[in-house]
Amino acid sequence: MQNLTLQTVKKQKGISLVEIMVAMVISLFLLGGVIQVYMGNRTAYRFSDATSRIQENARFALETMASDIRMTGFWGCAQFTSPQDTHLVNNLNIAANDPLYDFIQNDVISATVNDGLNGSDSLTVSGSKAGQNIILAPFMVNTDDDIEVDSVTSLQTNDIAIISNCEGADIFEITGVVASATAGQSVIQHSTVVQASTPGNINPPDCSAGGSRQCFSQIYESDAAIAALQTITYSIQAGASGEPALWRAENGVNDELIEGIEQMQILFGVDSDGDGSPNQYMASSAVADLSQVSAVRIFLVVRSDEDGITDDAQVYSVNGTSFTATDNRLRRVFSVTVTMRNKAGLIL
């Protein structure tokens, strides 16, 4: 009888080249998927971030402009039928039609068309700043007396201000703000002392005050208030970084407000029948009588600070005019209509 010999088959150890290649192919597919997910998330994040920044910039720009536009032509309690009303007296030592300080002869609102960066308009408005300072005792006895106000005041020396009651108003330059003998109060001074960089004050012909005393047109008491005046111009210019930006010039001092504002277009709402509501909107160059303007419509084109946000050229429209941008920056168009409260029969 023969003996049977059992042979054991050794198990294979390691992996073959084919298995390695299959694993590599699978890994490449998985890696490609991970990269695609990452790139998709990165693109989505950049788009979302650019959108948020654009919306934030637009909101800030429009809210700032709207606040100034609403105060346009506000002179306090007194309501004037025209800027040349005899109850509104300008005591500033200025030349006629001075663009900064002639608040009587100049229109309270104006605009220039397509004179800024990227064919942008500019907008100029005049009026008092928000927040009035009530006149306190001891009150004026003579028209050249100083004025007492609460010590918590934003008024400063060299501010152009208006003091008014419901009968009239005087425009003047504040030549000093000093502590009062009455606790918690400040004294607003107004004299004819020549100022270095601002217009200074002059006296009306009937003023009998001596020395550098400066007279108002009337004596103001407890029914009067003081507020600072401002002439503000908004325009689109190149910013410090080279990007287009919205600039705000207050009484001739120009400051960059916010970058990324590429274009601004302005339309005036004209109230031709005097009912307080605009009958039509048109460019400032088409408005025959700026005193009929009762609202302002603003269009802003706001762009991202980075390119490569969009894959294709972006087509957008501003007031019915189409534009095409090929730099792959994200752009959005925002618009708002602001009512000039003092032209719409509303008293602040």
Mean pLDDT score, 37-49: 76
Which of the pair, 308 or 269, is modelled with greater confidence? 269
Residue 20 included in any domain: no
Residue 134 included in any domain: yes
Residue 334 included in any domain: yes
- Give 200-234 pLDDT, tens digit per residue: 899 988 888 777 889 999 999 999 999 999 999 99
Residue 1 included in any domain: no
How many domains, the chain? 1
Q: Supply the range of the domain harboring residue 81.
A: 51-343
- Give 146-183 pLDDT, tens digit per residue: 999 998 888 999 999 999 998 889 999 999 999 999 99
- E strands of the chain, at which residues? 88-90, 109-112, 122-128, 133-134, 147-150, 160-164, 169-173, 176-179, 185-189, 225-238, 244-250, 253-259, 261-270, 280-282, 293-303, 314-318, 321-325, 331-339
Residue 2 included in any domain: no
Window from 4-18, 87-101, 238-252, 306-320 with minimum mean pLDDT: 4-18
Mean pLDDT score, 276-297: 93
List the structure tokens of 16: 């073959």
Residue 35 included in any domain: no
Please spell the DSSP secondary structure of 37-64, one letter per residue: HHHHHHHHHHHHHHHHHHHHHHHHHHHH
Residue 220: its pLDDT value, please?
A: 95
Q: Which of 63, 224, 225, 220 is nearest to 131 (CA)?
A: 225
- Start-to-end C-alpha separation, the chain: 125
- Give 110-129 pLDDT, tens digit per residue: 999 988 999 999 999 998 88
pLDDT of 130 > 80? The answer is no
Residue 62: its pLDDT value, please?
A: 98
Mean pLDDT for the chain overall: 87
pLDDT of 249 > 70? The answer is yes
List the structure tokens of 48: 């979302």
Residue 294: its pLDDT value, please?
A: 93
Planar angle of CA 232, 242, 57, nearest 5 degrees: 55
Residue 14 included in any domain: no
Residue 219: its pLDDT value, please?
A: 95
Window from 39-43, 140-144, 239-243, 337-341 with minimum mean pLDDT: 39-43
Q: What percent of the chain has pLDDT over 90?
A: 56
Residue 21 included in any domain: no
pLDDT of 345 > 50? The answer is no
Residue 347: its pLDDT value, please?
A: 37
**Beta strand pairing call for 253-259 and 160-164:** unpaired
